[in-house]
Amino acid sequence: MEGLIKEAYLIDKLAVCMLGVVMLMSLCSRLVTLVYVYAFQSLLLAAIAFFASYTPHAHHLIWMVYLIVIVKVVVIPYVFLRIIETLTIKKEVEPYVSQLASPLVASGLVILAYYSQQYVLQLHEGVVFSHCLSISIAVILIGFFLMITRKKAVTQMVGLMTMENGVFLCAMVLTSGMPMIIELGVSFDVLMGILIMGIFVFRIRETFASIDTSKLNSLRG
């Protein structure tokens, strides 16, 4: 039992680190940095999966560690980097919410997530679990915030992947992992999604000579 408490402690600390890293993303303006931060955040997720695999009924999570490392730490960041390199884009220009206000909004979202967890849900599952639920809600919200306030298609994709990481965090810590076949299917879909979005980014670039999605505005009403 004592060992279990140690794992829970580690998971808790790692989850807090992950939240910090996600908040960092709201500060980044260079796209390459953003991708590296995303990869690091996925690495933390893999570490959480590793420690979570020692909790009861969760041994299959060890496969999730491999899956996350391969898909989210290596393949997806590689795809992002290739896109950025090929399209020679460097910085996010004029996001809808300024570079200064973004971290403030992100902190607000974290407070909102904790508030909703404590006063709305009022779960009494032990500190670690409720903590992780708040963190995963916060990660999802910040990812969503990044998506809707940035203009570059690549940043939107990174935001989307961050949201996905939040869901994965929730799935691994709270439910000790979804059934393996589901996790495999979900990872496959995520990977395919990123590849397909990548294809569309190239097509948009060819047709519009830019990947600024605020230029995609001819369809209205």
Partner 1 sequence: MLKLLLALPLITGSLCLLCLLVKKGRVAEFLNLLSVGLCFVISILLLSDITRSGPRCDFNGLIYVDTLGGFFLCLTLMVSLAVSIYSISYMRQAVEKAEIDKHLCHYYLLLNFFIFTMMLVTTTGNLGVIWISIEGTTLVSAFLVGFYNEKNSLEAAWKYLIICTVGITFALFGTVLFYYASLHIPFELRSTLNWFEMTRFADRLDPRLTKLAFVFILLGYGTKAGLAPMHTWLPDAHSQAPTPMSALLSGVLLKCSFYGMLRFYIIASKCLGTAYLNNLLLTFGVISLVIATFFILIQKDIKRLLAYSSLENMGIIAAGVGFGGLLGIYGALLHVLNHALVKSLMFFVSGSLSLKYHTKSMKDVRGAIGIMPITGTGLLLGSFALAGVPPFNMFMSEIAILSAGFSSGKVLVSCIFLVSLVIVFAGILRHTTAMAFNPPPQGVERGEAGTWAILACLLLLGPIILLGVCIPDFLDNILSQSVSIIIGEKVSWTKESLTLMK
Binding to partner 1 in span 152-181, by CB under 8 A: 153, 156, 160, 163-164, 166-167, 170-171, 174-175, 178-179, 181
Partners of 212 in the β-ladder: 152
Q: Give min distance, CB of 82 to partner 1, in A.
A: 19
Contact status: 4 vs partner 1 (CB under 8 A): no
The span from the CA of 44 to the CA of 187, in Å, is 17
Binding to partner 1 in span 105-144, by CB under 8 A: 120-123, 140, 144
Structure tokens, 199: 């294809």
Q: Give min distance, CB of 179 to partner 1, in A.
A: 4
Selected range binding partner 1 among 27-35, 89-97, 102-110, 184-192, rule: CB under 8 A: 184-192
Binding site for partner 1 (CB under 8 A): 57, 120-123, 140, 144, 147, 153, 156, 160, 163-164, 166-167, 170-171, 174-175, 178-179, 181-182, 185-186, 188-189, 192-193, 196-197, 200, 203-204, 207-208, 213, 216-219, 221
